[in-house]
Amino acid sequence: MPKTNKKMPRKRSPLMTAAKAAMLVMTAIWSLFMTSLAGAGLIHNRASYGAEIERTGVLFLVSAGLLTAGAVLCLFRKTLPNVLSLIFSVIGLTLCMVMLYRIARHADLAGWSDKYTMEPISGMYKRRLLPVILPAGLTLVIAAVQIFSYEAAEERRERRRRREEKKNAPAPPIV
């Protein structure tokens, strides 16, 4: 039977589709909006907080951008976007958690509290920003599954085979 060069259609996994949909919703809520709003609030009130807290707000915005970019990039099945997704998500999550630690520590040391309930503001920041771990973790899992999937491995083997064929092809005639 002659070998055909037609690609087989890729199967779409309902579980992977559901995971991607859940990851996008959680990313929109926590990674994008909550983190961006925390950063924007710190920047907006920079006159009363100072330059250090303003930098923390800017870095919250950067982490929100990285986490969102990582989530969007893992929607694709190609290897490069998934590798970038892993990198962006790890850097964004790390940056967000470091900034959360810094702002919570500063809030505790400065005695910031809710004026009605007298609850420490650091608790509010933690409640709103710690759930960022869920969509970032889901992004990492989805990207890793797609990088190490059978289809991706076959695609890499095929590209390698084509490169070898091209490299070992006979030279064109001179005359």
Contact 146, 78 (CB under 8 A): no
Tell me what the mean pLDDT of segment 109-129 comes to: 91
**Confidence (pTM):** 0.83
Q: Return d(Cα 34, Cα 27) in angstroms, integer.
A: 10
Q: Return d(Cα 155, Cα 158) in angstroms, integer.
A: 5
Q: Burial of 63 by CB count in 10 Å (0-12 exposed, 13-18 middle, 19+ buried)?
A: buried
Nearest to 85 by CA among 27, 143, 30: 143
- Taking only the tens place, the pLDDT of each residue in 62-114 is 999 999 999 999 999 888 999 999 999 999 999 999 999 999 999 999 988 88
CA distance to 20, 107, 132, 162, 173, per residue, from 167 (Å):
39, 62, 47, 8, 16
Residue with tokens 């990582």: 70
